[in-house]
Structure 1
Amino acid sequence: MLPVSESFEYEYRGCDLIYGRGCVGRLGDYLAEHDLDRALIVCGSNVGASDELMEPIQEGLGDRLAGVFDGTTPEKSAEAAFGAIDEMHETDADVLVGIGGGSSLDVARQTSVFAQDGRSLSELREEARNGGVSPPDSNDERPPVIVVPTTFAGADVSDTGSIELLSAAESPTGQPASVGGSAMPIADFADPALFETTPAGALAGSAMNGLDKGIETPYARDANPVSDAAAVHGLRLLSDALPRIADGSDDGEAMDRAVVGSLLVQLDRKISIIHAFGHGFARRYSLQQGSVHAVVAPHVLRYLFEEVDAGRALLAEGFGIDPAGRSDVELGEEIVEAVADVRDALDAPTRLRDLPETREEDLPAIAEFVVDDSPMTRVPTSLEPTAEGIERVLREAW
């Protein structure tokens, strides 16, 4: 078993990755080093009510803690971002600290973006009702963001995200209207001790989203040896650690390995067709992306392996599968089974029909969304996906 460091720091695209148990105790020192004085925490109500989680962060921030906004929700509503903007102004905060899962980290980033955009929430919604919302301008004056992840969604080392302006029912297109801008965090404090405060169900629900970032990178048409190396090692760590966390046999070592793995699969990630499936469902429903990924990943991989190589030798390495003596078909099927095994260990959903709100009659429209989604530009070379082919995969997963 390959070891992981007890702590490390690494700069990635302007974001300082700071890993280690207890590393959030250094938050105040980090702010001081960057001439930042007043931090507003942005999180959800469950996170905000968890003393076990919040106390180490608040102690780490010390007298640089200006306030807490705990109004984020999984829906990533625009109200949450603008509520955080109001709180930022009231507390005179000069830095945002997003804590929690992917939705809270996205809201923290978009709070930073729209704090300097100049448009009000009502103006943005009016644009959405009139057919489209122009993205926010890039603004170097926006407040910096620090993220403190507590789930495996893999949404922390990212500059992307969006907030929902109109629900599907309110939107003139019949689909949720969202808008987002780019804001890379200046630091990511990845503290395994904080992940241990997250309920097992929330960890499991997020894990497949993060795992799939590692799965997708090796078969992306723009993959390279550097992105392959990070993805494969990240898969090694996650595929070993996640089942041990799920079954309660972890003594802390598996959590450390999973957090490092979650960081690795985000570096130079190349999201592709599995994420496009997730986005297709997001165009219709408010669903946790990890749940959609859990259901579709084995089916999508089987579809890929029937059509193209899809980096199966690298994926086999990531899941600890020895390719010796196995045909390409056998190797592909073992990878599919390995992914399903991790999914099942997490007790994640296995059928689309079991997800809230989903309707079988929507599958043709979702297939069209998937084919047109931007990550599909990264599908393996020579793969020519069609809406009909994608719909077949969806019906197999139904």
Structure 2
Amino acid sequence: MYKRKTQQFVQSSLESQAAVVLLGPRQVGKTTLALDIASERPSVYLDLEREADRQILTEPDLYLDEQAGKLVILDEVQQMPDLFRTLRGQIDQRRRAGFRTGQFLLLGSASNILLHQTAESLAGRVRYVEMPPLQPDEVGADQLNLLWLRGGFPDSFQAASDRASMDWRLDFLRTYLERDIPALGPRIPAATLRRFWTMLAHVQGGLLNAAALAEGLGVSGQTVGRYLDLLVDLMLVRRLQPWHENVGKRLVKSPKVYVRDSGIVHALLGIGTTEGLLGHPVVGGSWEGFCIEALLAAAPLGTEPFFYRTSAGAELDLVLRLPSGDIWAVEIKRTTAPKVSRGFHTGAEDIGANRKLLVYAGEHEVPVAKDIRALPLAHAIELLSAL
């Protein structure tokens, strides 16, 4: 079992808050992490996808009253939205009894649904922690290319072979499309949603062109927006917003779209080996998305990500506005010969970047220009983690 950084965040959050909501896509390791935390303290665990466990909460106050002083872990908590009003009363009651922190750990795989449910009922009583798939600094620099190929879902990454990893990811896609998404309510044909997901993988890191996607699927632009919202909500797709603070520039206003896990990108496109990936047209977009997810997982809580592009050609792959107010400009290239374009220099000047980095596929940190350094992904992760 890999030591997950998320576990430290969850444990420290439980020490200061009554409830913690752990968000992440299915199969990312949330339950394993929660049970590991549960092994260290008096706890109870309920999986709300199981009918037997839902029955236990038919009279939730009666059951939860008996668990006072224990950590109550509720998995797939979005399955019982009416429970949140009860949790609010339980938290307040326990506070009066002297149990102020570490009362509830709520696990969920649909972020907007959960955020909406908890924001109304648990305001001021809950902290949110997002759990990404395995990250480069969790598996080791020597495993970087394997992680990029297979993605960070633990069962995919740790599979006995590339073929077994691909089989796991194909089963994962099928289960999500045929069981998990319908269970959330949307009535979307599985074949249509898979085509949409695959179309996003083909243009990994490209600007969102809803009209082209709608035409390809034979649906309306509004329907495309609904499909995209769903995959973003399930934390399977990232919608990276454009930087919008330079009033005097003609800026691109469409977001960029990434399938968040590189292994899922490759499964959707039928890429099963490193050799096949390096020769595929998506290789640049795949590497860019992989690096962006790793950098955002390492960045301090509250960091805001953007990209920057003007009609005149100035472009930054990633802009990070840190909680301190500093702005980082990041270029990402799948190359061993580090070099930045004039558009990067212009873009970094436009946004007033405090730091300029080129993340590349080499092994050493080297200067590219007077104030720009090229560095491997692992070094960039270390810089952000140290903030």
The TM-score bracket by the shorter chain reads: 0.3 to 0.5
Normalising by structure 1, we get a TM-score of 0.31
What TM-score comes out, normalization by structure 2 length? 0.32
Report the structure, 1 or 2, having the larger helix content.
Answer: 1
- Structure with a larger share of its residues in strand: 2
Task: State the structure with more CA Rg.
Answer: 2
